[in-house]
Each structure stands twice: as structure tokens, then as C-alpha cells.
Amino acid sequence: MKVKELIKNTKVVKSQEILNREVSGIFYDSRKVLPGGIFVAIHGTSADGNAFVQEAIERGASVVVTEKRDLVLPSGVGLIVVENSRKFLAEIADIYYHSPSKNLKIVGVTGTKGKTSTAMILKEIFEAASFKTGLIGTIQYEVGQRIVPSTNTTPESIDIQALLAEMVRAGLTHAILEVSSHSIDQGRIECISFDAGIFTNIASHEHLDYHKNFRNYLESKLKFFSTYLPASKKKDKIAVINIDDVYSRIFINTAREKKLNVVTYGLSRKAEFKAENFTFDRNGTSFVLRGKKFSTKLLGSGNLYNCLAAISTAVSSGISIDTAVSVLGNIKNIPGRMEFIDTGRPFTVVVDYAHTHRALEELLKTVRHLNPGRILLVFGCGGDRDRSKRPIMGKIAARFADRVYITSDNPRNENPNQIISDIYRGIPFWYKRKCELIPDRRSAIKSALSCARENDWVVIAGKGHEQYQIIKNIFYQFDDRKVVLELLKEINN
């Protein structure tokens, strides 16, 4: 494809020496540039792509896209100046891959909690209805039989378009995308033709390191329903909203103003998909929806809402409710989400991704409902992330757990001891005696396992499915689930 074909419908401030050049690929990471490629310099959260223009040229970039009007390039390297490089990247990515989203039924899932579980449940229902479905989410990207570990919940626009194009080539008909607030704010989902959007919930003290305040965070989530879903040229677009969320009315009104078909779910009597007779125990969750009895091994109120979101979307898309009943009965777990570890011991071990105060509270309340002997909680908070939630999470942990082992999560560039101190600061003095501060995560898990007695629950929170720990921007192999099994062998010996 020639450059002139890529840019003919885009807004370019200035260009030179480029129009008839053939494009070998589009890149935003200078380390991955191939000869004859276009390098788009975008502003990342920690780096500016303009700092890597020289490296991109050395690797063979024939055209550079930038917002800098005064950028000087070597002779023979083409230049395109644009007002918004991220938006431009999304536009040319869609053109380069021939607008694959137009050939797929695409559902976007956004919210603070429940995106991954909702997306994976919905994928199972679609597949059971004989819809070949791809997935782009927090845990992994799935294209047919090809599964790739995720790098971002919602990757960069060019990566999304490449995955969607691969899905089309593989004969898939549907795709489900987890849509993060970062991706909405940065325009990574620009030019994707969505058929439906799901709003799970929204909580304060989430991603404030990026959004700065809750209002910005809320507006970012709303933008999916006010801008990106309405912009799709698909017909009969659906907005599926959790009516029980305190901010649901804002999302419902926004969706209706944009002429979207609104579908609501929840426990409220006003919900179109209203769950009744909801109960759960150690063996799973059950509820009644539209006269049908649902049973699933997924535990707790959080998973009830995830199931309702998936069912509402599937049924509103023409799938029979009986198909959903069958699928939920066969789902055993979602990786790293209330995932039980088979230890063969008289106590229970659960690994969960809960890394916000609201998610942690919901997790611990769910476990408490199951009448454990004691709850032994291992958790920490991520570094280089919102610090204001740390004391809040400490207070919640100490309130709902019987023993608390405060440890490292992904400290990144922060001092792990400082993060732990921030958490500990929020714990009332009368709860402090139940807490231990153990910076090494493996040692903290070992302490909890060694302390566990019959009928106790060891709850390991924060990292869930992750198979690494980030310390000083270095990724070390670390999987809570594997570490548990390794430590139990050590304890035995």
C-alpha cells in the first residue's frame, strides 16, 4: 500500500517526499521498525516517541509521523506532521488493515471491575451459539486456536486492528474487547465499529495516577457510550448497563441521547434482566432469570453481575437463554478470579486479581459469607499507581480478614517498604496486631500457608492471573498459583 492511500482521508498539517512510497508496515515502537515502515511518534505515559525517531530511522523507517512542526529529518526520510499522532495512528491502522471491524460483530466491555470475567463468559456463550469468537483482554488475546499473553488490557490501535484483521482471515465472526479507561482516553479504539457496549460498574480511587480525579475517570468511561459506540456505522447498536451501579443513570441517559438501544441488568426491579432468588455457597452461585434457573461454579455477587452482563448481551443479540443456562453450568473458573488452588489440604487457598479497595472488600465479604474458620489475607498495592487507595485497602483488609500479611505486589520503581507503610497507615490501631509486614511476596505467602488450619481460607489478592512481578521495571517470573504449590511442598519437607 502506498502512503497516499493511507493518508488521503486523514488530516495532515504538512507532508513531504512521501506520497508514492510503498509502506512495509506501521510502527509506534522504534525497536520493532522494519525497513520501509512508517514510524508514528506518540506520547506514551512514560516516554515521548519523538525521542526515538533516530533509532526508528536507523532501523529503516522511510516515513516519520510527528506532531512536532520543527522536526528535521535526514535526506530521503519522508515527514508527515499531524495535530494528533495517536488519532492519526488509529486512522491509518484501520485503512492499512482494510477496516476489519466492519466484518465482525464486536462487543466492548468497560468498567472498573468485571471486564475480564464478563468478556470470557460472553465468549463462551457466543461459541456455544456457534459464533466463532475472538477475544482481546487483560489475560490474553485469542484468535481461533492461537492464544497470545496480553501486554495491555486494550492494546495500541495498530495492534487491535492487526488482531481484528487476523480474526477475519481466520473466519471468525465475533470479537469481544475489554476496553480500559486509558484506551478510551488515548483514542486506541478510534475507528472500531462496535455493535454493543457493556458497562459493568465504576469505582472511585481507580487509575487516579493517570486520570488525576474521579470526574476525569468517569468522563473517560462515559466517552465510550457518548462517542465511540455511536460513531460506529453498525445498525441497532446496544448499550448494556448495570442498573444497580450508583452512576448507572448517567450512562443510561448518555446512551439514550445517542439513540443507542439500552438494555439494563441487575437486582433492581427496574432491570430488564433481573436476577431473583440469588444464593451462593462453597459450590457455586445460583439465581433465576426470566423464569430460568442458572447455576454456576463462579462465586459471589460480583460474578452474579458478570453473568448477568454476559447473558443480557447474548440474549439481546439473538441467542437463546437456554444456551446461556447450559454455558454457565459448565464454566469452572476464570483464571485468577476467585480461582481455587487444589492443594489437597484441609484449608482452602484462593487467588484473586482484586487490586482496588472495592474489589478487595467484595472478595473478602464473599469469603466471609462462606463461613471460613479464619481468613488469612496476603496482599499489597502496585507501585507507580494511585497512592490514595493504599490506606483505604489496608483498613478494609484489617476489618474483614483475621490475619493480614501485607507484602509487595508489583512495586515497579517505588520502594516496597514505602508502599507497605502507606497501606499500614490506614489500619486502625486496634487492628494492627493482626497484621504482619513482609515485603517479600513469596515469604508472605509461605507465612500464611504455614499458619493455616482446618477450615481456614488463605486469600492471595492483587495479582491473580499474572505470571510475573515487576521490580524496578524488570519482569521476574512469579505466579501466585504456582508459588502456593511450590511452598506447600517445601513446608511438607
Binding residues for ATP: 111-117
CB 316 within 8 A of CB 238: yes
**Residues within the annotated binding site for meso-2,6-diaminopimelate?**
385, 409-412, 462, 466
CA dist., res. 239 & res. 310, Å (int):
12
DSSP state for residue 86 in the 8-state scheme:
H
Report which of 289, 269, 225 is spatially closest to residue 251, judged by C-alpha positions: 225
CA dist., res. 250 & res. 257, Å (int):
11
Alpha-carbon distances, residue 487 vs 476, 477, 490 (angstroms): 18, 15, 5
**Which set of grid coordinates corresponds to residue 453?**
488450619
Residue 273, helix vs strand vs coil: strand
For 149-199, give the DSSP string.
Answer: E-SSSS--HHHHHHHHHHHHHTT--EEEEE--HHHHHTTTTTT---SEEEE
Pairing relation of β-strands 284-289 and 292-296? antiparallel
CA dist., res. 151 & res. 487, Å (int):
28
Contacts of 84 (CB under 8 A, 6+ apart): 67, 187
**Residues within the annotated binding site?**
30, 111-117, 152-154, 180, 186, 188, 385, 409-412, 462, 466
Report which of 1, 14, 5, 10 is spatially closest to residue 66, judged by C-alpha positions: 14
Provide the β-strand partners of residue 275: 289
CA dist., res. 359 & res. 125, Å (int):
25
CA dist., res. 363 & res. 114, Å (int):
12
Residue 331, helix vs strand vs coil: coil
DSSP state for residue 22 in the 8-state scheme:
B
Angle of helix 416-425 versus helix 389-400 axis, rounded to 10:
60
Which position has the grid cell 482496588? 356
**Which set of grid coordinates corresponds to residue 224?**
465510550
CA dist., res. 225 & res. 215, Å (int):
16
For 246-257, give the DSSP string.
Answer: TTHHHHHHHHHH
